[in-house]
Amino acid sequence: MRVLITGGAGFIGSNLVHAALADPAIKEVAVIDDLSTGVRGNLDGTDVEFVGGSVLDSQALDAAMAGREAVVHLAALPSVPRSLRDPVASHHANASGTLAVLEAARRHGVGHVVVASSSSVYGMNPALPKEELTWTRPMSPYAASKLAGESYALAYQTAFQLPTLAFRFFNVFGPRQRHDHAYAAVIPRFVHAALRDEPVLLHGDGTQSRDFTYVETVCAVILDAVRRGVHHPHAVNLAFGTRASLLEVLAELEEVLGRPVAREYGPPRPGDVPHSMADNRVLRDLFPDVTPVARRDGLRATVEWMIGRAGLRSDAAT
């Protein structure tokens, strides 16, 4: 099978590339990435066809799409705070970008498209766990752009009979996730600060909770979907209902490190939802053979990776 991964130099994308190349069912992997958030070095040591460019560049996208049998669309401009500063950029990258990928897949006769959406689409809906068919109410331009993208993916099933699968990701973490930019996710920021003996910054009181999912688990689900051509008429949560507060994550990180981690507290961030947790019944039905990596094991692997890559305290992980 010949697969295209958009955003393949990014955090999830590069992990997926490495996993796909180790999968006997995947014959060839191509990547398109403009490196706006991804890192070319994430693909070092891989045999992939790399197209440097945005999915909004039709020539680059056509070059990457030609001859592919399946597409995993991960290219996006992430981050709620970033979208508050530049809503139009988030819309172009996430909504228009997804539409461009779907159109290119249709032009090239691609048989299956997996699209990454986000749990942020639930927004102001307070229900826990989050069920896919419950109402959505985005609280940020980022969330709205991801809802638009998944809506396009689902519409293409009925309008053009293109098999698609829209996954709602829930706080994915793991190796290759960047800590070194203004919009970094919480776990890489926590880990990097802790390894440098610096206090971690909590926005709010730390009781806000998320359904953290280790990136290896996410890749296993996506590859299973690609191999079997799984499609579904509704968006599907990609998380396993393992909600934890930020304070609980810090406690687990302290256990991994074998020492306490200092904290600082700042004001809550606009657009952030207080709690998130996936209803995973549909996911379990569609992917019964995938066993999620435990959060603590994922934290340990993330710490070990960051120690190896950043040259931080080699005695930090016990």
311: number of Cβ within 10 Å: 9
279: number of Cβ within 10 Å: 19
Total domain count, the chain? 2
Pick from 58, 47, 54, 57: nearest CA to 20: 47
Residues 247-269: pLDDT tens digits?
999 999 999 999 999 999 999 98
Contacts within 8 Å (CB) and 24+ apart, 291-297 = 292/213, 292/214, 292/217, 292/240, 292/242, 293/214, 293/216, 293/217, 294/214, 295/212, 295/214, 295/242, 295/244, 295/249, 295/252, 296/252, 296/255, 296/256, 297/214
| Same-domain status, 299 and 245 | yes
CA angle in degrees (0–180, nearest 5) for 9-14-19: 155
**Residue 160's pLDDT band (cuts 50, 70, 90):** very high
| Same-domain status, 164 and 306 | no
| Same-domain status, 165 and 21 | yes
The pLDDT of residue 316: 42
Q: Is 287 inside a domain boundary?
A: no
Q: What are the residues whose beta carbons fall under 8 Å from the beta carbon of 141, sequence distance 6 or more?
A: 83, 84, 87, 90, 91
| Same-domain status, 22 and 160 | yes
Residues 24-41: pLDDT tens digits?
999 999 999 999 999 999
Q: Is 49 inside a domain boundary?
A: yes
The pLDDT of residue 182: 64
| Same-domain status, 199 and 117 | no
Domain of residue 28: give its range. Answer: 2-172+212-238
Q: Is 117 inside a domain boundary?
A: yes
| Same-domain status, 154 and 32 | yes
**CA dihedral sign of residues 123, 125, 127, 129:** negative
Residues 282-295: pLDDT tens digits?
999 999 999 999 99
Cβ pair 62, 32 in contact under 8 A: no
Using the 8-state DSSP alphabet, how is residue 314 labeled? T
| Same-domain status, 29 and 140 | yes
| Same-domain status, 133 and 263 | no
As a whole number, mean pLDDT of residues 296-309 equals: 94
Where in the sequence numbering do the catalytic residues fall? 142
As a whole number, mean pLDDT of residues 188-215 equals: 95
Q: For residue 246, give the CATH number of its domain.
A: 3.90.25.10
Q: Is 300 inside a domain boundary?
A: yes
The alpha carbons of the chain give a radius of gyration, in whole angstroms, of 19
Q: For residue 105, give the CATH number of its domain.
A: 3.40.50.720
Q: Is 145 inside a domain boundary?
A: yes
| Same-domain status, 135 and 65 | yes
| Same-domain status, 107 and 184 | no
Check whether 158 has a pLDDT greater than 70: yes
Q: Is 52 inside a domain boundary?
A: yes
Q: Is 219 inside a domain boundary?
A: yes
Residues 7-21: pLDDT tens digits?
999 999 999 999 999
| Same-domain status, 147 and 103 | yes
Q: Is 92 inside a domain boundary?
A: yes
Q: What pTM was estimated for this model as a whole?
A: 0.94
Residues 49-72: pLDDT tens digits?
999 999 999 999 999 999 999 999
| Same-domain status, 118 and 195 | no
